[in-house]
Every structure is written in structure tokens, then in C-alpha cells.
A and B are shown apart, each in its own frame.
Chain A
């Protein structure tokens, strides 16, 4: 079935460091891809998305490009801040058995940014 694989965490970086969180997927058809972020004690928020190959999603300095040839959607940020400390989830949309769409999440990557 469809699945998402993210790099294992936790990831600890110093402020202003470059961030990459790897995400690869397995899917039939052409899914849409997403990154969600979960700040401590909160629910998940959509960070960015891409709906077709070569699309680049971006938000709050984060970027990810939908790479169909490598089935990847890696998250990057050029200079992280302490406020970026959170758990990041890669996800893809899939069609359920009932014909509706649902999100399948990766296992999440915890990022800690230290001053």
C-alpha cells in the first residue's frame, strides 16, 4: 500500500544552521504531498504542500520540491530558529477503499534548535 518514510529523529541543530529532513514515498498514481508541523502541546498545522511533479511548496522559509523521479519530498530551510523546534510530518494523500481521500503520515521527525 501507499506509505511515507521520513528520516529518523531527533535532529538537533544550532540556530542559523541549514536544515534538511528527508522524506520518500511509495504510492500508486500521483499523490499530493504535504509537510505538517506540530509545535509542543499543539495539534498539527499544514506547513506546505505540492500537488504535482516539480512543484515547489514554500512557507515560513521552508521549502520542499515534489520529485517524481526519486519519489521524494525533502524539507529544507536555510537558517533555522529556536522557534522552529517542533515535530515535522511528511504526508501524502491517498484514495481510501471507500473512494474518498485521506492523508497518510510519516512517523515524524523531531527537530530541536538550540541558541
Chain B
């Protein structure tokens, strides 16, 4: 069983479209994250949710809206896609306070290409 699963794995779309990426974890963790990895492999945190509550919201355009229907799911919706949104988006989860223990569990990533 995959611990942190994301769908879709690949997404190719046109500028201006709206798209969603879904994430589910079956580890029973309390905290979930979205990270963005650019073409140079640089990883930057976007959002963090703790038990469905938004904890971290870095400087991310309002076009990005995370939604956590329950603590096992954290979806990412992106409106009005732009070329610069092309990246690999990683979902991750951790037990409460996972940043201190360091044990983040990552999904395999969703590669978004905006044409």
C-alpha cells in the first residue's frame, strides 16, 4: 500500500485553465504539506495543514487554494494556470510536530506542465 499517494502523476494543460491535484495518506498522520519543486530541483513549502487546519501558508498566489476535507486528504486547486506554475508538486505528511523529528513522508510527486 502506498503511504502517501498523489493523483495525477502527470498533468499537461493550457494557460488559464483550472486544475486540481489530490493527495491521500494512510499513515494516520496529523500534518500534511504541499511543496513545490522547480526545474532546478529547489524545494519550497507552500502549505501545511494540521488536523484539517491551515498552519503554514507561505507567500503563494491566491490562485492556489488547498483544501483538507479530513486529516487524511489534502488537495491543491490551482486557478488560472500560468507558465510559471510548471513544476513538480509534492505532497507530504508527518506525525504532529513532524518538522522537529524530521520524518516527513513524501508522495511521488505530480508533474504539472502548463503550455
The interface centre, meaning the residue of A34, A41, A105 with most chain B CB atoms within 10 A of its CB, is: A105
Q: Which chain B residue lies CB-closest to A94?
A: B99
B107 near A43 (CB under 8 angstroms)? yes
Between A and B, 16 residue pairs with Cβ closer than 8 Å are A32-B100, A43-B109, A44-B92, A93-B99, A93-B100, A98-B56, A100-B48, A100-B55, A101-B98, A102-B45, A102-B99, A105-B42, A105-B44, A107-B42, A108-B41, A108-B42
A46 near B102 (CB under 8 angstroms)? yes
C-alpha spacing A43/B55, complex, angstroms: 23
Chain B residues contacting A44 (CB-CB under 8 Å) are: 43, 90, 92, 104, 106
Chain A residues contacting B106 (CB-CB under 8 Å) are: 43-45
* CB-CB under 8 A for A101 and B42, given A43-B106, A43-B109: no
* Residues in B lying within 8 Å of A, measured CB to CB: 4, 31, 33, 40-45, 48, 50, 55-56, 90, 92, 97-104, 106-109
C-alpha spacing A98/B101, complex, angstroms: 18
Main secondary structure of the interface of A (DSSP, over half): strand
- Rank and list the top 9 A-B pairs by shortest CB-CB distance, nearest first: A101-B99, A43-B106, A108-B41, A105-B43, A44-B106, A34-B102, A93-B99, A49-B102, A101-B100
* CB-CB under 8 A for A93 and B102, given A100-B48, A110-B41: yes
C-alpha spacing A44/B56, complex, angstroms: 20
Query: What's the least CB distance linking B51 to chain A, in Å?
Result: 11
A103 near B104 (CB under 8 angstroms)? yes
Q: A44-B92, A101-B100, A105-B42 are in contact. List 8 more A-B contacts (CB 8 A).
A: A43-B92, A45-B106, A49-B101, A89-B43, A101-B98, A102-B56, A107-B40, A107-B42
C-alpha spacing A25/B61, complex, angstroms: 28
Query: What's the least CB distance linking A56 to chain B, in Å?
Result: 15
